Amino acid sequence: MLIKILGRRLAQAVFVAWAVGTLTFFLMNLLPGDFAYRIAAGRYGYDYVNQAAADAVRAELGLDRSVWLQYLDWFRDLLRFNLGDSLVSGNPVSQELAHQLGHSLQLALFASLLSLLIAVPLGLYAGRQVGSALDRASLFISVLLRAQPVFVIGLVLVLIFALQFQLLPVAGFGGSRYLILPALSLALSMAALSSRMIRNATHQVLGSSYYQFARFKGLSEQQAFTHHAQPNIALPVVAFIGIQAVSLIEGIVMIESLFSWPGIGHALAHAIFGRDVPMIQGAALVMGLLFVLINLLVDLCCYWLDPRQREEGLQ
């Protein structure tokens, strides 16, 4: 069973690598405008771009070759685990990404922890007290937050905490103070959904026959909750976190751009403006793989939590 999970995710990773790269490559080629001009502008600044500079870039990078040839080039390099060089900076893409990945992971991890810190107590409480004022208030706020794109949440937080009260920096990268606002924006957006999910799972488990039976067996409320409710609540919630990985990654792109956080999302946005195709492909690839990795971890967690899966594997 474990082998099956790993195998499935490995196959998915290979597919994601190919699909993401291919899709971004052709989508970029559909964009209007001359690549060589944009890249030259990225290298030398808009004021210094002229036909000669653009032609030089075109010749250097082989942009006059057919699209298919360029694609095959990229694909051959991918098979050798070579992501190519940035068209703008000239550095290897892998080197740039390795640098940025650390920052992104830091943000993602911190945001996820923060979102669980908000969602778990809130969801558990609302699930125990369904229909209470707090439950209804959390539903209202959750809908309100989910109705916004994550950068609006970020902007509002900047307006309040950075501009109004001047407690935290508006944007940028430095000490841990710079991490708080971007992580909090992402966390709020995720917690809005996961807290409701936890609330529903809690409500369902506490109303289940087996929870009632646990009480009838003589277990106290606390004991029944610890032993019979928690694992059963955790299972669907952990599975949901895997699904939420999509919105985490999507949120990273927007939030990093908004807060000028030097991670992969920020790099991706810049690479798109600069038509830096290898960087775009590389960044999208890493994000796709990150998604697969998160889901692998979730699978392993569920496998560990759910004896039904383990037993099936043994037989």
Partner 1 sequence: MSKPVVEVFKLSVFAGDSCLVSSLSLALKRGEAVTILGETGSGKSLLAQAIMGALPKELTASGDVRLFGKLNPSRHEREQMWGQQVAMLPQEPWLSLDPLMKSQRQLSLVEELVKQLDAKRARQQAQGSLSAMGLADDGNKVPSQLSGGMAQRLAYLCATAGGADVLIADEPTKGLDDSRKQQVIGLLQQHKQHGALLTITHDIDVAQALGGEIIVMRQGQIVERGSAEDVLNTPRSDYAKALIAAHSQDHFPIALKQGNAPLLKVRSLSKQRGNKQLFHDLSFQMGEGEVLGVAGDSGAGKSTLVDIVLGLTECDQGQVERAPELGPGKMLKLYQDPPAAFPREISLGQSLEDLCQLHKLDRSQLPELLARLRLDEAILARRPSAVSGGELQRFAMLRALLMKPKLLVADEPTSRLDPIVAHQTLELLIEQTRKIGCALILVSHNRRVMNQLCHQIVDLSPLEDTQRVPVDFSSACLIK
- Measured CA to CA, the distance from residue 88 to residue 66 in angstroms comes to 21
223 binds partner 1 (CB under 8 A): yes
Residue choice 138, 194, 232, 244 for contact with partner 1 (CB under 8 A): 232
And the tokens for 303? 């496998």
Angle of helix 277-305 relative to helix 307-314, nearest 10 degrees, comes to 90
Contact 181, 224 (CB under 8 A): no
Work out how close the CB of 113 gets to partner 1 at its nearest, in angstroms, rounded to a whole number: 25
Q: How far is the CB of 227 from partner 1 (least distance, A)?
A: 6
Q: Find the binder of partner 1 among 167, 217, 260, 304 (CB under 8 A).
A: 217
Size of the site for partner 1 (CB under 8 A): 25
**Of 9-17, 48-56, 75-83, 217-225, which segment contacts partner 1 by CB under 8 A?**
217-225
Q: Are 127 and 206 in contact (CB under 8 A)?
A: yes
Cβ proximity to partner 1, 99 vs 215, nearer residue: 215
CA torsion angle for 81, 84, 89, 90 (degrees, to 10)?
110
Helix (H, G, I), strand (E, B) or coil at 298: helix
User: Measured from the CB of residue 308, what is the shortest distance to partner 1 in angstroms?
Assistant: 6
Residue 231 within binding range of partner 1, rule CB under 8 A:
yes
DSSP assignment of 17-49: HHHHHHHHHHHHHHS-S-HHHHHHHHHH-GGG-
Question: Where in 18-57 is the site for partner 1 (CB under 8 A)?
Answer: none
Burial class from Cβ neighbours inside 10 Å (0-12, 13-18, 19+) for residue 295 reads buried
Among 29, 212, 273, 304, binds partner 1 (CB under 8 A): 212
State the nearest-atom distance from the C-beta of 135 to partner 1, in Å. Answer: 16
By beta-carbon proximity to partner 1, the closer residue of 60 and 312 is 312
**308 lies in the binding site for partner 1 (CB under 8 A):** yes
Residue 60 to residue 29: CA distance in whole angstroms? 18
For the bound state, the minimum distance from the C-beta of residue 211 to partner 1, rounded and expressed in Å, comes to 9
Among 157, 214, 272, 290, binds partner 1 (CB under 8 A): 214
Question: Does the footprint of partner 1 cover residue 128 (CB under 8 A)?
Answer: no
Judged by beta carbon, residue 162 or residue 305, the one nearer partner 1 is 305
A 10 A CB-CB count for 279 gives 28
Answer yes or no whether residue 304 interacts with partner 1 by CB under 8 A: no
Q: For residues 193 and 244, is the Cβ–Cβ distance under 8 A?
A: yes
In the region spanning residues 182 to 211, those forming contacts with partner 1, defined by CB under 8 A, are 208-210
From candidates 125, 215, 243, 289, binder to partner 1 by CB under 8 A: 215
Q: Residue 232 CB, nearest distance to partner 1 (Å)?
A: 6
Interaction of residue 132 with partner 1, rule CB under 8 A: no
Residue 312 makes contact with partner 1 by CB under 8 A: yes
Q: Which stretch binds partner 1 (CB under 8 A): 87-95, 179-187, 225-233, 265-273?
A: 225-233
185: amino acid identity, one letter = S
Q: Find the DSSP H helices in 129-225.
A: 133-146, 150-157, 177-206, 209-216, 221-224
Q: Determine the Cα–Cα distance for residues 50 and 54; give it in Å rounded to an integer.
A: 6
Give the SS3 label for residue 276. Answer: coil
Q: Is 227 in the site for partner 1 (CB under 8 A)?
A: yes
Cα Rg of the chain (Å, integer): 24
How far is it, in rounded angstroms, from Cα 159 to Cα 166? 9
Q: Which residues bind partner 1 (CB under 8 A)?
A: 208-210, 212-220, 223, 227-228, 231-232, 235, 305-308, 311-312, 315
